[in-house]
Structure 1
Amino acid sequence: MSKTPKYQPGEFQWSFLLPQYWGIWIGIVFLMILAILPWTLQHRLASALGNLAFKYLKSRRKTAIRNLELCFPEWTNDQVQANTRQVFIDQMIGIFETLNAWYSPEWFKGRVSIQGLEHLQNAQAGGQGVLLIGLHSTLLDAGGYLCAQYFDPDIVYRPQNNPLLDMLIYRCRASIYAHQIDHDDMRGLVRHLKNGRAIWYSPDQDFGLKQGVMAPFFGVPAATVTAHRRLLKMSKAVAIPLYFYRHGDIRNPQYSVLLQPALDNMPSDNELQDAIRINQFFEQHLRIAPTQYMWFHRRFKTRPEGYDKIYK
């Protein structure tokens, strides 16, 4: 029996030319055209698409509304609705920003600034790797491009189910990230950290409690990933909180990257306290630009016995 050949990430396969993939090729050409449109037109299209997504993606809308109700109880119902709509618009804007980062990166020239770069440089100068603890921002890979203007980041990624999409995204990301590390490749992650690399890692979603604990997120108990503690222990790397966001006039947006000091005593001998610390940084960052986060994910879906259900 012949074995199915294994392909390296980003490797072209002749099967990608079969008719079943033609729709994706056409879509990619369309996206490349969108990437060269003027920003004002990109923003108008993103706003229109975001409003459509808010209207028709009912399940995602309900999830985002519930998340914002819980995390920002000081908001009125009208504020929750308006900010939920903006979450969908920001997600669509983020898609255009990512297309610009992939196909038209010169658009970002003169729009990017950074704070706290010395924290990363000091760690690497001392021979340590850096685990950049970040969020699932609506900026998507545009955020990685912002960082790449000042330092050389790697990324942890999940392969796409569609092999053609996986190849195309991998190749586009190769222009931003020096290394793309499969989320299941723990040895690769540790090796790159031991080699002094800076790796963007986002432990902000609900993946259950096999590698996590219940820790408060905006005061609501949430399954919080703690796998990064093991990475830090094995690699002797440091953890540095990372945040990037868009601000200013939307007609001429600016982008900021924020790096905070390396976390002392991370990991500690208390898994829960470490999770609480990380979530507190996430809360601090999310209050800067609340709608530039993927609130349509079920952040509170894991509810062990004794915890009330969040989503109906």
Structure 2
Amino acid sequence: MSLASRLGIGFMRALAHVPLRLVRGLGAAMGNLLYVLAKPRRRVVDANLALCFPGKPAEERKRIARETFVYAAQSFLDRSWLWHAPEQVVAKRLKVVGSASEIDALTNGKEPTILFAPHFYALDAAATALTMRTPRPSTTIYTTQRDPMIDAWVGEGRRRFGNVTALNRVDGIKPIVAGLRKGGVLYLLPDMDFGRDQTVFVPFYGVQAATMPSLSRFARLGRARVVPVISRFTEDGYEIELLPAWKDFPTDDLIADTALMNKRLQGYIDTMPSQYYWVHRRFKTRPEGAPPVY
């Protein structure tokens, strides 16, 4: 356990009691500073935006890039109050909207459900909001942090409310499918590049992108409905929107399903491009013979 980790977690616990306006202001300052100093990561963001939005003027892409660093920093600092502030404070700052039938089904239903949660910066807020509001068993999949102390802190934060099981990616699919078939909820974030062995190539903004096909696979194996969750920053916290369940998903074609997922994801991103996780090297794995992006 490093001293830096202990100090960092202590800082976040203290920050949980600071007014949200000040937390967001600190995040904005950090984000703007990172935009200037974190040049390698900024090059990743710039490359992603150039590939996905070639028709946007360079100045607009620059604005989106700067804003995405701000949202990244603010979402990190917001974990202070999401994971440590009193429950009533957290609940007041998280507003769940959208399909009334889906909200009721999540709270009171028993049908296996996958919450398709794209990598918007508000994803931890969405997970907290939804686990606070349902007694149903839910599962999330995580990647182990290098520092054991940070790994434990993140795990505790994500399991803070509700009946949540956090599974490591190395645990395999059996416990995930078993949880779904018992009427559980899976909070799934499949829109990332985890290497050639775990992905299929499908278009993302017209560019072949290595994409996890897990949404289609788990929906089929778990006999589950797929409900998109779109999470947004607001001045007083976050808005988490549950969209109607997809009626035409899954099919027997895993690759077509994954392409459809990306196509629909593009529509969600287009409504708030700055809030998507562009700091990820989304096009790291390339088709055979394609030049590297980064």
TM-score normalised by length of structure 2: 0.89
- The equivalent position to 1:260 in structure 2, one of 236, 239, 243, is 243
Counterpart residue number, 1:101: 82
2:185 is the counterpart of 1:201: no
Counterpart residue number, 1:183: 169
- The equivalent position to 1:225 in structure 2, one of 212, 229, 237, is 212
Query: CA offsets per residue over residues 151-197 of structure 1, 9 Å max, x none?
Result: 35532212222222222222222213522222232211111111111
Change in 2 beyond 3 A, CA 1:170/1:254:
closer
Q: Report the alpha carbon displacement of residue 121 of structure 1 after superposing the two structures with TM.
A: 4.2
| Pairing 1:294-305 to 2, within 5 Å after superposition | 294-305=277-288
Counterpart residue number, 1:6: none
Instruction: State the alpha-carbon separation in 1 of the partners of residues 191 and 17 from structure 2.
Output: 32
8 Å contact 1:54–1:61 — kept in the other structure? yes
Q: Report the alpha carbon displacement of residue 254 of structure 1 after superposing the two structures with TM.
A: 5.0
8 Å contact 2:202–2:258 — kept in the other structure? yes
Any idea what SS the aligned residue of 2:202 has?
Answer: strand
Q: Report the alpha carbon displacement of residue 149 of structure 1 after superposing the two structures with TM.
A: 4.3
Q: Report the alpha carbon displacement of residue 123 of structure 1 after superposing the two structures with TM.
A: 7.8
Q: Report the alpha carbon displacement of residue 233 of structure 1 after superposing the two structures with TM.
A: 2.4
Counterpart residue number, 1:32: 13
Unaligned runs of 5+ in 1: 1-19
Q: Percent identity?
A: 28
Counterpart residue number, 2:25: 44
Instruction: State the alpha-carbon separation in 2 of the partners of residues 183 and 128 from structure 1.
Output: 24
2:126 is the counterpart of 1:143: yes
- The equivalent position to 1:158 in structure 2, one of 137, 143, 148, is 143
Amino acid across the alignment from 1:154: T
Counterpart residue number, 1:244: 231
Change in 2 beyond 3 A, CA 1:122/1:36:
closer
Query: CA offsets per residue over residues 277-307 of structure 1, 9 Å max, x none?
Result: 1012211111222111210111111112243
> Once superposed, what is the RMSD of the aligned Cα atoms?
2.2
Amino acid across the alignment from 1:256: E
Amino acid across the alignment from 2:261: I
Any idea what SS the aligned residue of 1:142 has?
Answer: helix
Query: CA offsets per residue over residues 236-283 of structure 1, 9 Å max, x none?
Result: 112222211113xx3xx3532222222234221222210111012211
Change in 2 beyond 3 A, CA 1:284/1:177:
farther
Q: Report the alpha carbon displacement of residue 128 of structure 1 after superposing the two structures with TM.
A: 2.3
Instruction: State the alpha-carbon separation in 1 of the partners of residues 84 and 222 from structure 2.
Output: 35
Instruction: State the alpha-carbon separation in 2 of the partners of residues 23 and 127 from structure 1.
Output: 44
Change in 2 beyond 3 A, CA 1:232/1:69:
same
Unaligned runs of 5+ in 2: none
Instruction: State the alpha-carbon separation in 2 of the partners of residues 117 and 192 from structure 1.
Output: 24
8 Å contact 2:128–2:161 — kept in the other structure? yes
2:44 is the counterpart of 1:63: yes
8 Å contact 1:268–1:274 — kept in the other structure? yes
Change in 2 beyond 3 A, CA 1:211/1:120:
farther
8 Å contact 1:95–1:140 — kept in the other structure? no
Any idea what SS the aligned residue of 1:109 has?
Answer: helix
Q: Report the alpha carbon displacement of residue 147 of structure 1 after superposing the two structures with TM.
A: 2.2
8 Å contact 2:199–2:211 — kept in the other structure? yes
Any idea what SS the aligned residue of 1:283 has?
Answer: helix
Instruction: State the alpha-carbon separation in 2 of the partners of residues 113 and 173 from structure 1.
Output: 18
Q: Which moved more, 1:125-134 or 1:268-277?
A: 125-134
Q: Report the alpha carbon displacement of residue 97 of structure 1 after superposing the two structures with TM.
A: 1.9
8 Å contact 1:98–1:139 — kept in the other structure? no
Instruction: State the alpha-carbon separation in 1 of the partners of residues 51 and 24 from structure 2.
Output: 29
Counterpart residue number, 1:234: 221
Instruction: State the alpha-carbon separation in 2 of the partners of residues 107 and 121 from structure 1.
Output: 21
Q: Report the alpha carbon displacement of residue 65 of structure 1 after superposing the two structures with TM.
A: 1.0
Q: Report the alpha carbon displacement of residue 111 of structure 1 after superposing the two structures with TM.
A: 5.2
